[in-house]
Amino acid sequence: MSIEPRIGPHGRDDDLTRALRSLYAAPSDDAYWTTLAGRIMARIGGEAVVEQWWQPLARFARIGLVAAAVALVAARIALSRDAARQTAIAYDGVIETPATAPLQLATDRTPGSARDATLRYVISP
Decide if residue 39 touches other proteins (CB under 8 A): yes
d(CA 60, CA 56): 6
Best CA proximity match to 106, nearest among 85, 91, 121: 121
Nearer to other proteins, 15 or 108 (CB): 15
Nearer to other proteins, 35 or 118 (CB): 35
Decide if residue 23 touches other proteins (CB under 8 A): yes
For residue 17, the tally of other CB atoms under 10 A from its CB is 13
d(CA 94, CA 82): 19
Nearer to other proteins, 13 or 116 (CB): 13
Which residues of the shown chain bind other proteins in the complex (CB under 8 A)?
1, 3, 5, 11-13, 15-17, 19-27, 33, 36-37, 39-41, 43-45, 47-48
